[in-house]
């Protein structure tokens, strides 16, 4: 996952050798017209099932006044979802040979995330992580199988890299047994130990050989997943508003939340896709940081949807929390999202202080909106939209005529 030039990527595999099984050889880093495959898109959609479950349980925890416990469970479960998705994404970018076995192993990973999703409710409500752990085991064993295929097809430093991945993933999976055998008070410590160890596996595995991931393909995959997560937030909020209107006839109270939520999500989409990040990744030695930072982008984007549901629940009198707390469930994750997009994307393309401070200022304003009572979400949405507008104006003024067609940066 790093663009270091320490090792040259292997040539593009010979796809003319058709058949049910092909050698798992590296794809070329400079392939033309490399885009997400239908299998990858299907894979992403199946992962959204787990994200939706995690978001729904987070909403119930926060609306019930158990924010601390709910956030802890959400952080842990979302890590399992995100980490399994990201590992497959980077692996497929370098080694997708699209043979029958690759498709079957991908199906196994999809089955794993569905098992994980089925266990989310019990993990939140009863602190029983067995199904979540089993789903994660299924996904990780499938990934180990893929790395062993690479090791069998490769030699030298590439083979060593693949074996490091396989062994590292296996050892980490053993460590996650702590979620099952330790008391509830130890769950947070298991996560604090195992999550960093998981993220160290790619760093160690690729220290001598770099996988030939494709910059444009990776940026597209992350972008598509961002759209899916933001779409899930819109869907969750829409269902919540519909329920509030149908059961409580509270359209007047819910309209500011609905409009503000839509503005926030639209602005979130705009700022993410305002810059061509694949060009930056192609020469960036910090691609690990870019990839890992998306944990906060994806989790905060999904949390916005959960927060909008909480705000609706509070507006109709069904949540056991204050208006201030309900507003914070929307404004805080939205502010975190804006800050992370600025840190990972936007700041690399800004010219001058004025452009650099737009997104951090918008994040601060959204946090301050928390204290505006029932108007908090609407005003936060307006602040997010104004940030986009200001960013477009500043980018247009400082761009050359040739670049003005793409001056939509926020």
CA angle centred on 324, ends 319 and 328, rounded to 5°: 90
Return phi, psi of residue 228, to 5°: -65, -45
Instruction: In whole angstroms, give the CA distance from residue 158 to residue 160.
Output: 5
Q: On the CB side of 147, how many CA atoms lie within 13 Å of its CA?
A: 27
Q: How far is CA 271 from CA 73, 223, 307, 340, 393, in A?
A: 29, 11, 20, 11, 14
Residue 282 has a pLDDT of 65
Please give the chain's pLDDT, 410 residues, in tens. 444 434 444 444 444 445 677 788 888 878 888 888 999 999 999 898 899 999 999 998 998 888 888 999 999 999 999 999 999 999 999 998 888 999 999 999 999 999 999 999 998 988 889 999 999 999 999 999 999 999 998 889 999 999 999 999 999 999 999 989 888 888 889 999 999 999 999 989 988 888 888 888 888 999 999 999 998 888 888 888 887 777 777 677 788 888 999 999 999 999 998 877 777 776 446 688 888 999 999 999 999 999 999 999 888 888 888 999 999 999 999 999 999 999 988 777 777 788 888 899 999 999 999 999 889 999 999 999 999 999 888 878 766 544 444 444 44
Residue 233 has a pLDDT of 87
Residue 237 has a pLDDT of 82
């Amino acid at each position: 996952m790093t663009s270091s030039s320490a090792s040259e990527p292997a040539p593009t595999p010979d796809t003319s050798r058709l058949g049910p099984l092909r050698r798992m050889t590296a794809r070329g880093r400079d392939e033309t017209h490399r885009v997400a495959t239908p299998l990858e898109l299907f894979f992403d959609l199946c992962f959204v099932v787990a994200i939706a479950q995690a978001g729904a349980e987070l909403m119930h925890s926060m609306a019930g006044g158990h924010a601390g416990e709910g956030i802890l469970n959400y952080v842990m479960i979302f890590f399992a979802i995100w980490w399994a998705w990201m590992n497959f994404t980077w692996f497929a970018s370098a080694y997708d040979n699209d043979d029958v076995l690759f498709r079957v192993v991908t199906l196994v990973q999809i089955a794993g995330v569905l098992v994980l999703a089925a266990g989310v409710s019990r993990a939140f409500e009863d602190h029983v992580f067995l199904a979540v752990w089993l789903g994660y085991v299924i996904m990780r064993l499938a990934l180990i199988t893929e790395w062993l295929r690479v090791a069998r097809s490769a030699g030298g430093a590439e083979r060593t890299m693949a074996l490091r991945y396989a062994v590292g993933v296996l050892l980490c999976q053993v460590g996650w047994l702590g979620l099952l055998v330790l008391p509830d008070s130890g769950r947070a410590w298991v996560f604090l130990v195992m999550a960093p160890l998981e993220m160290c596996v790619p760093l160690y595995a690729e220290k001598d050989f770099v996988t030939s991931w494709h910059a444009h393909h990776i940026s597209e995959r992350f972008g598509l997943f961002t759209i899916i997560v933001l779409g899930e937030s819109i869907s969750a909020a829409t269902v919540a508003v519909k329920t509030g209107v149908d059961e409580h006839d509270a359209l007047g109270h819910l309209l500011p939340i609905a409009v503000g939520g839509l503005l926030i999500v639209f602005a979130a989409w705009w700022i993410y896709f305002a810059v061509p990040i694949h060009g930056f990744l192609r020469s960036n030695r910090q691609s690990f940081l870019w990839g890992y930072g998306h944990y906060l982008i994806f989790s905060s984007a999904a949390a916005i949807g959960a927060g909008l549901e909480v705000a609706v629940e509070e507006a109709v009198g069904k949540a056991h929390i204050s208006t201030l707390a309900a507003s914070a469930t929307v404004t805080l994750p939205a502010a975190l999202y804006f800050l992370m997009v600025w840190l990972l994307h936007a700041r690399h393309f800004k010219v001058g202080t004025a452009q650099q401070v737009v997104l951090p200022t918008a994040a601060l304003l959204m946090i301050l909106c928390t204290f505006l009572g029932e108007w908090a979400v609407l005003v936060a949405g307006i602040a997010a939209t104004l940030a986009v507008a200001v960013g477009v104006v500043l980018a247009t003024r400082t761009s050359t005529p040739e670049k003005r067609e793409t001056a939509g940066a926020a």
